[in-house]
Amino acid sequence: MTDRHYPAVLLAVFAGWWLLLAIDPLYRQDWFLENVLVLIAIPVLVRGHRTLPLSRRAYTGLFVFLMLHEVGAHYTYSLVPYDAAAHAVAGTSISGLLGVERNHFDRLMHLLYGILLTPAALDLVDARTTARGFWRPLFAGTFLASHAVAYEVIEWLAAEVFGGDLGTAYLGTQGDGFDAPKDMALAVVGSLAALAWLSRPRRGSSPTARS
């Protein structure tokens, strides 16, 4: 498969997944809210493919993240039944193994946001700046961190505007007053981990070679 067709294949698979999970979501209004940014991001990515194409690694990361996000949108993030799925497959629950009570799907997604979107951030830095050495991962990391903060602000504003059960479902704090800083921290940790992996020296490459 050529690099030209790879994003189109991912988009087609995602469209089918999106349509499947759009059927009878647990909380339709929350599903709409969760998909607002998706319906903005997809046209931006399609247009950007013509003017500023990303790497396969970046498109793959975006694809995996959005596929998992649609699972959260279908069930609402705080009610994704990963314990029930694990019990059906392995006869035990993930929460039981980890000794936790809170549904941590949202925590996982914030961590994956940092991991999976960092390749795209690096591509944007490479395309729009001349940053090299230390500055390249610094720009990419701060770019991701700023978006993690912006998303938490959007969640807060949406909760304030809609209030009630919808605001609670969308915010998804599950009673944790420190939910927002924990989510932002996980996104930063994920991005740092991805940057460390992508910036590692490769066999046969020079120390200054870019990932």
**pLDDT recorded at residue 203:** 62
Report yes or no on whether pTM surpasses 0.85.
Answer: yes
- Among 104-108, 162-166, 178-182, which is the least confidently predicted range? 162-166
Q: Which residues contact 2 (CB under 8 A, 6 or more apart)?
A: none
DSSP-based three-state secondary structure for 38: helix
Looking at residue 160, the DSSP 8-state letter turns out to be H
> Is residue 164 predicted with pLDDT exceeding 90?
no
Residue bearing the bigger pLDDT, 169 or 109: 109
State the DSSP H helix or E strand holding residue 193, giving kind and residue range, or none if neither: helix 179-198
Domain ranges in the chain are: 6-196
Residue with tokens 């314990």: 83
**pLDDT recorded at residue 62:** 97
Looking at residue 203, the DSSP 8-state letter turns out to be T
Side chain identity, residue 31 = W
Which pLDDT tens digit goes with each residue over 11-51? 999 999 999 999 999 999 999 999 999 999 999 999 998 88
Burial of 172 (0-12, 13-18, 19+ CB in 10 A): buried
Among 24, 101, 22, which residue's Cα sits nearest to residue 69? 22
> Is residue 67 predicted with pLDDT exceeding 60?
yes
Residue with tokens 């120390």: 207
For 70-112, the DSSP string reads HHHHHH-GGG--HHHHHHHHHSS-HHHHHT--S--HHHHHHHH
Among 33, 44, 78, 62, which residue's Cα sits nearest to residue 183? 78
